[in-house]
Structure 1
Amino acid sequence: MDAPLIAVLAVIVIALAFDYTNGFHDAANAIATSVSTRALTPGVALLMAAIGNFIGAHFGEKVAKTVGSGLVNLPTGSASLGVVFAGVAGAIVWNLITWYFGLPSSSSHALIGGLVGATLAASGTVLWAKVMESVVLPMVLSPLVGFALGYLVMMLIRFIFRNGQPSKLNRGFRWAQTVSAAAMSVGHGMQDAAKTIGIIVLALYVGGHQGSTSTIPEWAFWTSASVLALGTYAGGWRIIRTLGRRIIHLGPPEGFAAETVASGVLYFNALVLGAPISTTHTITSAIMGVGATKKLSAVRWGVAGNIVGAWILTFPAAGAMAALTYFAVRPLF
């Protein structure tokens, strides 16, 4: 039996609210390094990030299908819409908490953790093998890959330009960062707008207003992309300061290396694997890897440790909040 349209719309609205918080929470992913190195002014950087997110959303179909159909089994009907609503609400709460404390946690893992937590609270079925393969494994591997590649790419840049004049190199890499920041913005759109699209498709399916989760309506791309872009343009200055200044002092060459590595990892996972990885984890670990080429003590490991702690807590914390939300909203669905 089809769920009332108002229930489907409620889930879509809260999914878009999450999309907006994702934008201002994760704006730092795309622009923190460029702003901290003065390659771009904050206003220009935010506008570029918003445009890049909008463009990238249209290339994230594989990620959207993974989120929309590959992680939990929900029957159609209003009760299942309550599960999806609660999952997204739990992710929003965790996003706001970590934003308040300036911690660059993963909106992606908050969303997936929330969906899993609400499903368990409703005695639904979580496809744990798929969660492990598409979420947990990439969650562990992407920071390791980002750190290692960040270190290697920065060492290569140091070797190639070892005889260059620092002032000229800084000017050149500030220009290069315009390209790498744009690439990072598109990669963020591929990953994060796509996750909201996946939730929209899941809501349409369990509400009985779409026959399967394999088809994505065009309006879902445009709506999710637009809201994410607006959220990004609103900025997330608390987290931008953490990524851009508190972990390590970045120069233009380091910023370029970190953004190039992170965007490459995002593109591979979105276009090839369809894996919903964390843009936050990827760029943060790339910054740490780049910083480690100076000397290990150059990285403020205390700050890095707090960030990693937030990463570990994100999945279960968002899941717990979503479970509590489910019991609160269950009578409404």
Structure 2
Amino acid sequence: MQDEMSKASAWLKPDPYIIAILLMVVLASLLPVRGEAAIWFSWLTKAAIALLFFLHGARLPREHVIAGLVHWRLHLLVLGSTFLLFPLLGLGLVQLPTWLLPEQLAAGVLYLCLLPSTVQSSIAFTSQARGNVAAAVVAASTSNLIGVVLTPLLVGLFLHTTTGGISLKAIQDVAVQILLPFTVGQLVRPWVQGWVQRHAKLVSYTDRGSILMVVYGAFSAAVVGGLWKQVSALELTVLLVICVVLLAVVLVVTRQAARLMKFSKEDEIVVVFCGSKKGLATGVPMASILFPAATVGFIVLPVMLFHQIQLMACAVIAQRYGARPGDQAETRSAS
């Protein structure tokens, strides 16, 4: 019993990274960066974003992308959840009355639904749940590759009424700050992959540090623009409930879809974890490029809330999957 209680407390323990992100929100609320300093900080952040996606490109083995073609039914289901089911649910949620969910927060909820899946946590939870880790690597990586191109297009298509539209310059900025560094990372991977592997901690610090910089800059601009004067406690509560319900619906749908398609338990786990996640590491930097600085804080607030909720919920689900009886090497479904 004590062992189970200790495991439960570990599931619910806040992620130090999430705590650091929340501290950036507090710091931005108390000491937002302004004026000339904000301009220099913005350029520094753009450089950090470019470095982040260069490292992502250098880390991702090309064979993982090619391997994605093999198990096509699984990957189509994950992509369908990420870029079809989520957006449809998001379009429904933004119909809530503005007194309950203001337009800027509604835009953030819809933006959340247009993001690609996570990579690290999807793979980690799949491993804990004794799922098909190789398929999870491919599914999550493919989602991110497609999302770099597809998410800005979907944002331009669905958010034009609330954000004023996504300009050609914004698309170009995504290409220059995200797609180009990622492509360069892939091209030079044969020469730098060894260094990247040997300095995994440094890469991780760069990854997380760049996100912290974006969060601080985004919330600084939002605070200067009156973020906390415009978001009430009721609206934050509604946002929290929306994130919980959204995640619950997608978890149920992905699980049932995998079972209807007669996937093995290992592959079901991949669909559930990769198909229900939304990536903070991609979403926050991309928001800083796609949206005006004063609105980015509103946009990323739902993303941050959903990220913490999905970590807590999926930790519990992974433990339950992992505790199932049977041989760990279950038969995988045919592709």
- Would the TM-score normalized by the shorter structure come out above 0.5? no
TM-score by length of 1: 0.34
